[in-house]
Each structure stands twice: as C-alpha cells, then as structure tokens.
Amino acid sequence: MAVYTHLGAEELAELIAHYDVGELVSAKGIAEGISNSNWLIETTGPNGKGARYILTMYERRIELADLPYFLGLLDHLSAKDCPVPRTIHDRAGDAFRMEHGKAVALIEFLPGVSPTQPTPEQASAIGEVLARLHLASGDFGLVRANTMGFADNLRVLQACGETGLASINPALPAMLEPARKAAELDLGSLPQANIHADLFPDNVLMLGSKVTGLIDFYFACTGAMALDLATTHAAWSFDDRGRYRADVGSAIIAGYESVRPLETNERALLPGIAKGTALRFVASRAEDWLDTPDDALVTRKDPMQFVSRWHYYDDYGAQLFA
Amino acid sequence: MAVYTHLGAEELAELIAHYDVGELVSAKGIAEGISNSNWLIETTGPNGKGARYILTMYERRIELADLPYFLGLLDHLSAKDCPVPRTIHDRAGDAFRMEHGKAVALIEFLPGVSPTQPTPEQASAIGEVLARLHLASGDFGLVRANTMGFADNLRVLQACGETGLASINPALPAMLEPARKAAELDLGSLPQANIHADLFPDNVLMLGSKVTGLIDFYFACTGAMALDLATTHAAWSFDDRGRYRADVGSAIIAGYESVRPLETNERALLPGIAKGTALRFVASRAEDWLDTPDDALVTRKDPMQFVSRWHYYDDYGAQLFA
C-alpha cells in the first residue's frame, strides 16, 4: 500500500523510452500493491492518441523466477479475451526489465472500480468471469506451485506458536487442529488449472455489473479450480460485520456454474476447502500481526474475521455447497 | 504520502454524484500529499467525453477555516490563466463538502511530471510562472497569515531544544542564533501578494520546459513575494549532493525578473531571506526527525541538507542576489 522506490520524472521518462508507448505525460505513484511500487502512467501513446499504463516495480516477496509465470499468464488470458491487463513488452520483446536492480513491468491500465458491497448481479458476474478464467488458463504452458497451500498455512500457524496466537486472541490456538485437518485434504485429485488464488474485491475492477478487470495475479498458481472458487466465495460473501450474505454467496456459485458446472468430487470437497481457505487468511493475518510492531503506522488486519468465516463454513458449508 | 481513509467504490460513486462530472470510471488512491488522502478519479465527464480529477480528503493539519482561502486562490489564479488546477464546485456551488466528518474537494487533474534535476530552461520557466502567479494573486480577496514564518521557525527550533538538536547532529544547535536573526527580519515592508510558499519540485508539473501545473497550495499565504522566490530558489538550485547549481539558480531569478523585476529593497533583503527560508526546512525537518520513531517505516528527511544550504547562502548570498 505504498510507493517504496522514488523514481524521478527523468528516470521514468528514460524507462518509458524502452517501450513503444510514446512520451511520458503524467505519472502518479498509486497506493496499491502490498509488496511492490506502482505508478499510474500516462503517455502520448503508440499512435499519439494517449494511453495509460500501470508501471509496477517488484520490491519484495515476488521471486524474479516467478515473473515469467505471472506476466505470461496475463498475456495468455488476455489473448483468450479474459478481462485481465496485458503486459506491454519492451522494444526487445521482454515482459519485464531490470531497473535499480529491481524488476519492472509495464501493464495495461483497465477502467473500473472495486465494489466493496457487491450486489448479487455483480457477484454472479464475478463467478462467471472466474470460471472463464479457469477454462482459459488450463493450457497455459507454465506451472507454479501454490506457496500458500493448506500445508503452508499449518506451518505458519505452528510458527506463530500457541502462545503467540493466544496473545492475539485466546480463541486462535483452537484453529491449529482444523489447520492440521485441512493440510490433509488431497486437492491434487480435483480438476486443475492456473488459478488467481486471491480474488478479493480489491483485485476486481467493475463498471456496474460488468467485470472490466481481474488484477494482481501475484498469488496465481497451478492448483485446484475449486480452491479458487472457495477463496472467492470466502472473500466476497460476508458483510462488514461478518454476516453471511446468502444472495451474494449463492450468486457467485451459480454464476460460476453457468460457465463451468462443478464436478461431483469438487462439490464434495468444497466445504472442507472453504474452511481451509478461511484458515489461510487466519494464518497470514496472524503472522503479519505478530510481525507488526504495536506502534507501526500500518493497520493490522484481524485474523478473527476469518476465524468467524471458518465457523460459518464449519456449521453451514455442507448445505452451502450441496 | 499515503491514503489514510478507505473509500469504497460505492462511497466514491455517491460522492461524485454531487458533482456534474458524469459517472465514476476509475479511482486510484495516489501516494501524494503529506496530510491528506488523494485519489486520481476518472469519470465519464460532464459531456460524456471522459474527464479526470484529483479527489482530496483533508485529514489533518489543514484547518477547515483555511479551505476557502486555499481553494478560492486556485480558482482566482486559474481564472487569470495561471497553470493551477481549478476546483470543481458541487451542484450546490460549494468548493468542498463534508464526508465522514472530513472535508473533501474535487480538483482538476493536470498533466505533467515533476523534474527532479531541472534544466536551466525548466528553471527559467518556473521563475516566470512564479512571477505570473504573484502578479495574479495580489488582488485575491482573502488573506491568510504565514504559519511557517521566520519567528515560527525559531520557536520550532527552540522547542526541539539544544539537546534534541544535538542528538540529530552536533552542528544543529549552532542554527539557533541565525534563526534568531532571521526572526528579526521585517518582511512586512516588502511587496506582498498571495504566495505558494512551498514550491518544491514535487509541487510543479511540467511537460518538457513548459510548466503545466503548480499544485499543493496548502502552505499558501499572504506574504512577501521575495520569500516565495527565495524558497523556490532554495528548493531547486542544489543537486543531490548539495552542490549549488549556478545555471539553475540564476535561471530561476532571471526567469522571475523577466516578468516581475525585483525592487531594490527586495534585492537587498534576499540574502537574509534565503538564509531564513533554509532555516525553515532545518526547523521542520528537525521537528519531524524528533517526532518520528527510529524504527518507523517513514523515511526521515535530514535537516543537515538545509544547514548546508544556509551556509551556502551565508557565504555567497550577497553575490547571488546582487
């Protein structure tokens, strides 16, 4: 949520000159991206008609080795008419360049805003687009393992320790046992594709009920499509106060199935997957909580929000995904 | 340098509906502004042709009572063809609205990027535009006192205390005596106008050698025009390593004087004013330094940069502004 690296106008102009996008007209550092710096760039455009791009500088976490996967997936999906930004390749044909020892990529700007309280129509559109993404991503040539899988979540929670977890909230250590169960789920037997794996509202751009862009593919990986659906469901179907929004939740699933009906084994595992995906955010938030000093300027996200979603899926998952 | 308040798409759309700017198409929180939140907003525009704006939410520091001055000055200057953004008034005719208990304003988006190492041509253009601003702002109807005047700087340095200052750098306490001298300067006898008072590179947008926008008027006040020129000179005429760039410094003054020649009493006081303005940034940076925890994520600006500029003006000011 910051711009970590300062790039002056002269440096930006020099960078832009490596692409066939015309001359720099404007550049604003934008407050998006957890571990990278982003600028909304305006140029005179390849045809002089003006164009806009997102310039991303990768600061941390993302391994250079993963960039061909992330950026290649965008190109693969946009070529198949999925609403994702394409990457702009430089004059040498490369999808990213090195500047100041960091990788940078120029990415298509897409219009749209991120709904925070989606309507059922919006939820249905999101489900549909997610299914289209899955159908389009299956034949992408590269593979990336999920680094936030259920076994990883268990490891993160164990590293926080019972004492650490209890220091955040006394109810947190009780999540260790369900995390152990989730880690035993065999998702490898389910239909696989290349999945977004983090489709929260911030990562979806919409105009009205139309999805104009899925963005921020930096958790994308090769994995079970049902996992992506469950994560999307967990991310969108609860309101500010943690109450389940049945109309939104069922619209996501119905929208998804209107494009790609779930298989029997996916449906059977979905309640467990939904619980596992809730635990993923319990684990990552608990880890961040313990890593962030109390007096830091950053707002810490409460892991208990997703404990409550885990409980919801534990109680009602079987009927939700029936 | 952040977005302090989260405004969801629904809230932004509702806010935008109070203005005749069409419908919301995009909104990106931008990493500008020290004490306010800013979004780069795109709408379908009043004529359906698309338009862009900066939406600012005032978070701190800026007193509500000052907003009519700041925003009114933008309208006054843009009506006189100075390159400043105009404020977009809402359907009720107001320049700002209250949302979540905070004032928000919609401001014209201007193209351009901020040079960090200006050429002499750019420096000359900045001097010219500053002089045009001064000629245009004299008859603005409102008045605002300078809250960062030389007496205020002295008070800030005294509040840091000799021990506090020495804890930053042993050479800092020696700046108290010059700050006392600067506080005795009588700027009231010099030609007055409404001045920007903080014309650092970040606050100037340019395309090539043309100034497309002066922005961030939140230190603007009624005061001596020579103070604005000296601040601009101190902000632009030194390179990364603190070396004086004679070509840039003299181009700023020559550009300024090509539009508004300095009067004899301004020229006579400029060396002292330049030293005083260097001390302003020594004082504000020293205060911020002591207020910011060592382990904060924020980069602290070194007050010693401006101690070195003070020394430069002390040694060479008389000949620079002769």
For residue A112, the 8-state DSSP code is: B
Helix (H) or strand (E) holding A269: helix A264-291
Are A32 and B29 inside 8 Å of each other by CB? Answer: yes
Considering only CB atoms, A2 lies closest to which of B2, B42, B113, namely: B2
Buried b (16+ CB within 10 A) or exposed e, A266-305: beebbbbbbbbbbbbbbbbbbbebbeeeeeeeeeeeebbe
Structural contact between residues A212 and A126, judged by C-beta atoms closer than 8 angstroms: no
pLDDT > 90 fraction of chain B, expressed in percent and rounded: 85
Nearest 5°: the CA angle A4, A83, A88 is 55
Q: Any chain A CB within 8 A of the CB of B216? A: no
Alpha-helix runs per DSSP H in A109-199: 120-137, 150-168, 176-183
What's the pLDDT score for residue A63?
A: 75
Per-residue model confidence as pLDDT tens digits over B217-245 = 999 999 999 999 999 999 999 998 999 99
CA distance B62 to B49: 34
Contact list in B for residue A295 (CB cut-off 8 A) is: 293
Are B28 and A40 inside 8 Å of each other by CB? Answer: yes
> Which candidate, A56, A69, A65, A34, places its Cα nearest to that of A221?
A69
Two tokens at A280?
């993923």
Domains and CATH numbers, chain A: 9-108 (3.30.200.20), 120-320 (3.90.1200.10)
Could you tell me the end-to-end alpha-carbon distance of chain A, in angstroms, rounded to an integer? 38
Are B116 and A8 inside 8 Å of each other by CB? Answer: yes
Buried b (16+ CB within 10 A) or exposed e, B265-287: ebeebbbbbbbbbbbbbbbbbbb
User: From first to last of its 322 residues, what are the pLDDT tens digits of chain A?
Assistant: 355 677 888 999 999 999 999 999 999 999 876 678 899 999 999 998 999 999 999 987 667 889 999 999 999 999 999 999 999 999 999 999 998 889 999 999 999 999 988 999 999 999 999 999 999 999 999 999 999 999 999 999 999 999 999 999 999 999 999 999 999 999 999 999 999 999 999 999 999 999 999 999 999 999 999 999 999 999 999 998 999 999 999 999 999 999 999 999 999 999 999 999 999 999 999 999 998 776 665 677 899 999 999 999 999 999 999 8
Contact list in B for residue A292 (CB cut-off 8 A) is: none
Are B298 and A295 inside 8 Å of each other by CB? Answer: no
CB within 8 Å of chain A, chain B residues 94-153: 111-117
ipTM > 0.90 for the complex: no
Residue of chain B whose alpha carbon sits nearest to that of A202: B8
What's the pLDDT score for residue A1?
A: 39
Contact list in B for residue A112 (CB cut-off 8 A) is: 25-26
As a whole number, mean pLDDT of residues B8-12 equals 89
What's the pLDDT score for residue A3?
A: 59
